Amino acid sequence: HWFVWIAVVAYAMGHFATSEVNRSLPQKVSYRFRYQQGRSPYYGVTRKWDISDREWRHGRRFILTAWPWMVLHSIVGRAVAYSVPSLLPHYHITFSLLFVSLKLSWMTTAYFVAVHAVFFALSWMQVPALCYGLALLLVSHHDVFELDLLKVLFDNRGDHCYFISVVAFYWTVLRCLSFCMDHMSRAKEDTSAGDWPDYWKTLACAVYLPPLFLGPVQNYEDFITSVDRTKPPITLREVYTCVAGVLRSAAHLLLMDLMCHYFYSSALNAAPHLVEKLDNTSLLGYGATLNVMFFLKYLIQYGVSGGCARIEGIHLPAPPKCVARGHLCSHFWRYFDHGLHLWIKK
């Protein structure tokens, strides 16, 4: 049945790729190919390149810019964990905030530190409703209240810095809420836990570099357990596993780039009147393409962050399960974004 399923989906996607609607999109919706003038970044490739998906366009650029930093961050972090484990949270904070300041903006750094400071103060007050209320306000201020707390970044640093900062800001709010609630729960169970959580560990969790923008979100206690776990000696097998993980994500990125040269599904999203011209097989292929490219986008982002964190010996939530196997709605967030599922569940 797997062979039949894969063959049917591949046929439908191929039918969509060769349809007149898909092939004519660079001429009919040329404004969707304005990014880098639609030119391919690969030598000798003359086909138009569709990166009109804003999330993927900025995510791809961030990955290509940040991956050397994230690998270096994890290698040095592994060395610090072996030599001076007590300094590991301070190292995570210093490296991450230095990266954000240099590659994004010092204002972005200030936003992250300020959000953490507010939640850190709320954790002392021991009032869960205040924590939930603030988190809800911060993640909904743009869509619900039509406010934009980070608009100054768009005005001063451009769309890329703004988009990356906004996404990382939302992730940071979720991580901060996690350490607040974990501290309150621990304080109720253990009266010797103290009124304040560990400032450096909570800030390190909030701004830890690999998942800072790429995700996934991870509960505070799970993160600290992974960081504090004694790191075993490095073996050739572990080196091979870490290298293979990073190379696997690179292969997924190349596959995504290849698909963006032949499947113009993102550009077609802006032209619903053209969707009506697709025959049934092409329409099925269009739907399958949207799902596959959505899956690849998160597989790459979570794969890169998880692969880099694994170099340091830190385990992030598992990358998404293939959409071809997620046939139950109840399984979608449980296995597609396992970190968010665990965060919501807790």
DSSP per residue, 225-250: HHHHSPPPPP-HHHHHHHHHHHHHHH
Nearest to 243 by CA among 76, 61, 74, 88: 74
Query: CA 23, 49, 305: angle at the middle one, nearest 5?
Result: 130
> What local confidence, expressed as pLDDT, does residue 40 receive?
82
Write phi, then psi, for 21 (nearest 5 degrees). Answer: -60, -50
Express the helix, strand and coil content of the chain in percent, nearest 5 each: 75, 0, 25
Question: What residue type is assigned to position 27 of the chain?
Answer: Q
Structural tokens at position 157: 């640093």
Structural tokens at position 289: 């393409």
> What local confidence, expressed as pLDDT, does residue 236 receive?
93
Please return the burial class of 255, using the count of CB atoms within 10 Å of its CB with bins 0-12, 13-18 and 19+.
Answer: middle
Nearest to 17 by CA among 292, 214, 239, 241: 292
Count of CB atoms situated within 10 Å of the CB of 334: 17
Instruction: Note down pLDDT in tens along the chain; length 346 residues.
Output: 778 888 999 999 999 999 999 999 999 998 888 887 668 888 888 888 999 999 999 999 999 999 999 999 999 999 999 999 999 999 999 999 999 999 999 999 999 999 999 999 999 888 899 999 999 999 998 888 888 999 999 999 999 999 999 999 999 999 999 999 999 888 777 655 566 889 999 999 999 999 999 999 999 999 999 999 988 888 999 999 999 999 999 999 999 999 999 999 999 998 989 999 999 999 999 999 999 999 999 999 999 999 999 999 999 999 988 776 666 667 777 788 889 889 998 8
Q: Could you tell me if 227 and 314 are in contact, meaning their C-beta atoms sit under 8 angstroms apart?
A: yes
Helix intervals (H) in the chain: 2-17, 20-28, 54-83, 88-103, 106-125, 128-140, 151-157, 159-189, 199-207, 210-214, 220-228, 236-262, 265-268, 272-275, 280-311, 329-336, 338-345
Structural domain boundaries of the chain?
Answer: 84-228, 317-346
Structural tokens at position 118: 């507010």
Which 3 state secondary structure label does DSSP give 19?
coil
> From CA 108, how far away is CA 156, in angstroms rounded?
12
Count of CB atoms situated within 10 Å of the CB of 62: 22
> What local confidence, expressed as pLDDT, does residue 315 receive?
94
> What local confidence, expressed as pLDDT, does residue 193 receive?
55
Nearest to 217 by CA among 249, 184, 172: 172
Write phi, then psi, for 19 (nearest 5 degrees). Answer: -70, 155
Report the Cα–Cα distance between both ends of the chain, in Å, rounded. Answer: 37
> From CA 93, how far away is CA 269, in angstroms rounded?
40
Q: What is the DSSP letter of 141?
A: T
> From CA 345, how far away is CA 51, in angstroms rounded?
34
> From CA 72, how far away is CA 66, in angstroms rounded?
10
